[in-house]
Amino acid sequence: MNVLEHSVQTTESVIEKMHEHEQIVFCNDPTTGLKAIIAIHNTTLGPALGGCRMRPYRTMDEALEDVLRLSKGMTYKCAAADVDFGGGKAVIFGDPATDKTPAMFRAFGQFVDSLNGRFYTGTDMGTSMDDFIHASKETNCIVGIPEAYGGGGDSSIPTALGVIYGLKATNKVVFGTDDLSGKTFTIQGLGKVGYKVAEQLLESGADLYVSDINEEAVKAIQEHAKQLGSIARAVSGNDVYAAEADVFVPCAFGGIINDETIDLLKVKAVAGSANNQLLTEKHGEVLKQKGILYAPDYIVNAGGLIQVADELYGYNKERVLSKTRSIYTSLLEVYRQAELDDITTIQAANRLCEKRIEDRKKHNSFFTHTKRPKWDIRN
């Protein structure tokens, strides 16, 4: 049974699962083989914005679960970063190493265009700027493309920078200094973001444990470490969780803080770029009980969002860098609130975002010239 046939049988459960979401679009283009899902979680703050992930999902449910969780995370990320966008995300079924074609991304661009400005998208895990150059031929709602094409360039650069600021803030709270030298970090995933984080940590004088299913990436970072006189030890399987490091830096996929992994952790903090690191909020509670400081993922990894949102206002590199730097202070404030109220860091971050969204709902009832007046709805 193919994944979309399966979707027909689960329509009721889809409706149940989307009780928090505004819209889900299932995309099927037999000509190019595109099968994708776009999820829009909440547009109170503005049109939905979020990257598009490509993965060889085994089932429809797995993909749906992923896109629903990721799009909700974007609502919170946009609120935390104080950008005027809502939460959305897309997933494409397929192996990014073998199944991509330009035509597939053009077809995806057409589906995005059909949403008429309700959803803006760009790169995420498994997709690259090149893919979205193809998509951008079909719609204006594409971000994260090269400057030569009117975009802001590789959004994983500010994402990685933001992770470094997040690590400095975390280091400050745990070790009393934001100097990262002499500390050991375990990085899971050496892709667009993780590799750049690894380079910057090595250049700051840190040592690493690294893990990636792509052996080339592991070899390349080990070579880089050797040149700098630092160490990057390769770990695989569950050793990535059990490594004797100071901080665990997840930069691959979500759900990695779960019942199986949590007891293996020997680190003092978890802070990385992966979206939805906690399998459930309960795992944030367990980390707190174990005395492991958790940096809410959507605060730490907002650098890419900050850049792609800025593209839509007219890209300004200095502005992006300055907003990305503020991840340091935002995270310290979340840590402070969590400590004051004796709650988990994810609860503190969620509370801040939910308040921002509630406050904005009140103001959204004001008419502004960019909005269509209600009396114009029939025209």
Q: Supply the minimum distance, in Å, between the C-beta of residue 263 and ligand NAI.
A: 19
Token pair 């995309």 is at which residue?
27
> What residue type is 356 in one-letter code?
R
Q: Which residues pair with 278 in a beta bridge?
A: 257
Between 7 and 156, name the residue whose CB sits nearer to ligand NAI. Answer: 156
Answer yes or no: are the C-beta atoms of 289 and 262 closer than 8 Å: no
Residue number of the CB closest to ligand NAI reads 191
Q: State the DSSP string of 90-137.
A: EEEES-TTTS--HHHHHHHHHHHHTTTTSEEB-B-TT--HHHHHHHTT
Q: How many residues bind ligand NAI (CB under 6 A)?
A: 27
Q: What minimum distance in Å lies between the beta carbon of 265 and ligand AKG?
A: 24
Residues 50-69 as x/- pattern, contact with ligand AKG by CB under 6 A = xx------------------
Binding site partner of 50, from ligand NAI, ligand AKG, none, Cβ cut-off 5-8 A by kind: ligand AKG
Is residue 8 marked as binding?
no
Q: How far apart are CA 145 and CA 152, in angstroms?
A: 6
Residue type for 183, please? K
- Which of ligand NAI, ligand AKG, none sits in contact with 175, Cβ below 5 to 8 A by type? none
Rounded distance, CA 274 to CA 256, Å? 9
**293 DSSP β-pair partners:** 269
Q: According to the binding rule CB under 6 A, does residue 121 interact with ligand NAI?
A: no
Q: Which is nearer to ligand AKG, 257 or 308 (CB)?
A: 308
Q: Report CA torsion sign: 98, 104, 105, 111.
A: negative
Instruction: Please answer whether residues 159 and 88 qualify as being in contact, where contact means their C-beta atoms are separated by less than 8 angstroms.
Output: no
Contact status: 92 vs ligand AKG (CB under 6 A): no
* Stretch near ligand AKG under the rule CB under 6 A, chosen from 12-20, 122-130, 235-243, 349-357: 122-130
Size of the site for ligand AKG (CB under 6 A): 14
Q: Is 190 annotated as a binding residue?
A: yes
Binder of ligand NAI out of 47, 126, 255, 296 (CB under 6 A): 126
Stretch 203-242 residues interacting with ligand AKG (CB under 6 A): none
Strand 207-211 to 23-29 pairing: unpaired
Is residue 88 within the footprint of ligand AKG (CB under 6 A)? no
From 66, 124, 246, 310, residue interacting with ligand AKG (rule: CB under 6 A)? 124
Pick between residue 77 and residue 183 the one whose CB is nearest to ligand NAI: 77
CB contact at 8 A, 87 and 42: yes
Q: What does the alpha-carbon distance between residue 241 and residue 114 come to, in Å, rounded to a whole number?
A: 42
The answer to whether 73 contacts ligand NAI (rule: CB under 6 A) is no
DSSP three-state, residue 4? helix
Query: Does position 186 bind ligand NAI by CB under 6 A?
Result: no
**Site for ligand AKG contains 273 (CB under 6 A):** no
How distant, in Å, are the alpha carbons of 54, 127, 232, 242 from that of 218?
22, 20, 9, 18
Tokens of residue 47, six digits: 């049109």
246 near ligand AKG, rule: CB under 6 A:
no
Residues 132-151 that bind ligand AKG (CB under 6 A): 144
Can residue 122 be called a binding residue for ligand AKG (CB under 6 A)? yes
- First-to-last C-alpha distance (Å) of the chain: 45
Choose, from 35, 89, 196, 288, the residue flagged as catalytic: 89
129 binds ligand AKG (CB under 6 A): no
Tally Cβ neighbours within 10 Å of residue 26: 16
Q: Residues 192 to 251: which contact ligand NAI by CB under 6 A?
A: 192-194, 211-214, 217, 251
* Residue 123 in contact with ligand AKG, rule: CB under 6 A: yes
Three-class secondary structure of residue 233 per DSSP: strand
What does DSSP assign to residue 372? P
Q: Which helix (H) or strand (E) holds 41?
A: strand 34-42
Instruction: Write down the least CB distance from residue 291 to ligand NAI, Å.
Output: 25
User: CB of 303 within 8 A of CB of 156?
Assistant: no
Q: Report what 122 binds from ligand AKG, ligand NAI, none; CB cut-off 5-8 Å by kind.
A: ligand AKG
Catalytic annotation on 89? Answer: yes
Active site residues: 89
Annotated binding site for NAD(+): 189-194
| Residue numbers at the binding site for ligand NAI (CB under 6 A) | 123-126, 155-156, 159, 188-194, 211-214, 217, 251-253, 273-275, 301, 304
